[in-house]
Chains A and B, each alone.
Chain A
Amino acid sequence: MIQPRRKRHTGWWLLLAAAVVLAGIAFAIMWRPALAPQAAPPSFDQTSIARGANLARLGMCASCHTPDLARPFAGDKPMETPFGTVHSTNITPDLNTGIGAWSPEAFTRSMREGVSRDGHLLYPAFPYNHYARMTQADIDDLYAYFMTRPAIDSPARDNAMTFPFGFRPLIAFWNVLYLDDTPWQPDPQQSAEWNRGAYLADAVAHCAACHTPRTKLGGPDVKRQLDGGEAEDWYAPALNRNSPSPLPWTRAQLQAYLRSGIALDHAVAGGPMQDVVMHLAQADEADVAALAAWTHSHLAQAPVRRTPAQQDGPLPPPAADDPDLQRMRLGYALYANSCARCHDAGRDQTSGTALPLQKAIALYDPDPRSLLYIVDDGILPPDGEPARWMPGFRAILDDEQAGALAAYLRKYGAGQPAWPGLDKAVSKARAP
């Protein structure tokens, strides 16, 4: 049957109209105006700068923006994401290559909306989806701090994004899904200290950025707050009732850990957490105490379990009827010959405070990566600062040995079911 020509025309026009409307909406979502450059920043008062300094510590800004200790906030740190490699930018007040020409409005917009002064969208590797909930006063203090740092010339490096994520306007859609800038609200049922901790954890220190799992699109999985996530390919454990810690955390342990990276006989910060701890060590003590209070309130919900951590003493050899006896024997020998010297006999005389391994949280993680990285890379102090030290075994143990050791420790150290895909994880951790 021949269609009336009129109807065919209407179908096409409707589609076109819809496309135009959608394009209009998309454009409206993706496009942001440039804000006028500001020649010289106004002066700032010392207390604002001091508060800003503290907030910069709590916000971990240097983690991404200071890869080179000699050039604070000059940026240029490459960060691997599932969408490509992003390089951090220069946030010193350099006029040409930094934020020297940014007005307070431009700075605020970048913190709350992830938009650069000239209108381009910033990748959410920059955790603006957390900073969005900072108070204006805090953002102003941070502005005062950054605008009074020495300017360093450091041009932004091109990112290496997988197609199509190099097209920045697409980030706008991510923002639609994940950018929640409702101002943070205190919980009237909780203490002032807890609320301070809650605010700092969410809006400033952005703990959830690592400790909450992400969706496939890289946004926070809000239904699984603090259920465990990852940072720089390390597994960041759950901080809620699913905490893998074999012994319950006390408030005092957590506070010591956050300030120094060591909770005696309980945990040692490794990997990216070391940087967190270094920042918190330089932040206001009461603020860190508040963070500890808030974090502890979540960790305390983890049920107390019976684990080998409750017993002292060296780890046992494998049972004679172990189905994987050969491998477990190898793992046990490696433990006895490589690890026990520090982790069993104890090295009180050194600064290592090596943990008896049945207490090591990494053994109880659902994911073996943190353990593998600790074994391979060790735990090293920041340049030129006194701290704890564990040497790395990457070149000492081959892949088979590393896998056997991890498998043995998982079973006979933690008493947990085997990690699936362990061998693959070992090779992946060691891939250059």
Chain B
Amino acid sequence: MTTYRLQVNGKPHAVDTDPDTPLLYVMRNELALNGAKFGCGLGQCGSCTVLLDGQPVMSCMVPVSVVGARMVRTVEGLGDARTPNVLQQAFIDEQAAQCGYCIAGMIMQATALLEKNPAPTDAQIRAHMSPNLCRCGTHMRILRAVRRAADVLAKGGKR
């Protein structure tokens, strides 16, 4: 067991765990964060997507020991149920969920896109979201939610 200092959603944390523990397990267990989910543990489905220095990563493939001082951001850092951010609100407005298990990962994946490219085309949204799987078939609504958030941001809405 080693102590790792992590920056998660702007707050410092110190966790004691084994160096090969994937960040996903650290977030869910040591930090009690629910957003990133265990979907496969193989980097194939994106349910565990978080941002690492602004880049989307599959947190099931990130050993906690490689994170270092880089910024980890999860869906909890974007907003909460009372004050969701633009993208989260867009998912609520579009009712873009069925079982909802993949959605936190989708939101983080989309966040990375909108922060780099605030005016993506529909084709760019589709291509960018491809690493993330949805089994319920909510694809159309998810795309609409990202489009909706992009449109709000384009009109000058606050992130």
Contacts and interface: CB of A to CB of B under 8 A. Distances in A.
Do A and B interact with each other, yes or no? Answer: yes
Given A391-B61, A393-B61, A396-B66, A341 B20 contact: yes
Given A395-B57, A396-B52, A338 B42 contact: no
A337 B42 contact: no
A401 B66 contact: yes
A389 interface: yes
A269 B99 CA distance: 37
Given A336-B20, A378-B43, A396-B52, A391 B58 contact: yes
Contacts, number: 44
B56 A395 contact: yes
B72 to A, nearest CB: 12
A95 interface: no
A391 B61 CA distance: 8
Interface in B78-117: none
Contacts of B43: 378, 389, 391-392
Given A337-B19, A341-B20, A396 B62 contact: yes
A397 interface: yes
A165 to B, nearest CB: 30
A334 B66 contact: yes
Interface string B40-71: 00111000000011011110011101101010
Chain A binding surface SS class: loop
B20 A337 contact: yes
B41 to A, nearest CB: 9
Contacts of B70: 398
Q: Which of A334, A341, A395 has the most CB of B within 10 A?
A: A395
A401 B53 CA distance: 15
A355 interface: no
A336 B18 CA distance: 12
B66 A337 contact: yes
A338 B56 contact: no
Contacts of B20: 336-338, 340-341
A350 interface: yes
A256 interface: no
A389 B133 CA distance: 15
A93 B55 CA distance: 43
A389 B61 CA distance: 13
Contacts of A391: 42-44, 58, 61
Contacts of B44: 389, 391
Interface in A396-432: 396-398, 401
A98 B140 CA distance: 34
Interface string A319-348: 000000000000001101110110000000
Q: Which of B20, B56, B66 has the most CB of A within 10 A?
A: B66
Nearest to B53: A395
A336 B57 CA distance: 19
B66 A397 contact: yes
15 contacts: A333-B19, A333-B65, A334-B66, A336-B19, A337-B63, A337-B65, A338-B66, A340-B20, A389-B44, A391-B43, A393-B61, A394-B55, A395-B56, A395-B57, A396-B57
- Which 7 A-B pairs have CB atoms at the shortest separation, nearest pair first? A391-B43, A395-B55, A337-B63, A337-B20, A395-B57, A396-B62, A391-B61
